[in-house]
A and B are shown apart, each in its own frame.
Chain A
């Protein structure tokens, strides 16, 4: 059981079948399953990633995309500091629903929650129905991060999770996010004696959106 300095809670949301569970499995287990059962309710996964010399433990809740689970999955918004909003670049409707998802997150989550818009299934770019520029534009307009990924070929999956973590870490350093606040998606790891880190502005890494 390795120790960690901070603990961030993530949620993964988006329409059913866009590859949310596959992204999580790829990130936590470095595996890909082409046929994954429908997620029932919410599944949990975790991994530690290094950010700026700190070990950040990511606790990720992978939610069911189906409408029938929507009310249950909303319960998780409040406690999360990172939200990965996923759509399928080959299915235009999944992109169109992003607006609704975004409203939902904004309504129920902390205002400081970092939201990453993810266009998944990049490996099927030949069948693309949502141009990269469109996704990118939408993200820009709504102040989201944006990335295209492939859980199948492991393109950008790591980056999607780590970039989100970096942004959250930056907010922690800046004091925008309160560690161990209630409710809080950010906590100190067991190795930390207390909240000792004073936000150090000079340390903020130049974060760029992809």
Chain B
């Protein structure tokens, strides 16, 4: 077997996003910023979001990490940009299911697009945390948003 299996994880689109991350940086006018760390390796990802009218108007990520965490963060920004908060949270749930090896609906899978390819990380359990980091950060931000909206 050897390195052949690595191709499942490090697909071209993932390597491309790790090498040329989209939406990298910090939003000057963010409505929320969340920094999460992976305590096992010291990786840090900071996600900043601008929410307008219950919609993700802008989304960026910063920080350092491995190929999987960087690509996953980059893919997340491309997939969730301009989505409603509600739909974004559904897709975050679907992504979490995918990377832990669960099935998701065809609609969610389609909408996750290239990000769904990160789902192959389910075969590499030690790396699931890397894939999840940015998505968890955004989920917490949207959660806070929901909490304030209900206040």
Pair from one complex: no
Which A residues lie at the B interface, using CB under 8 A? none
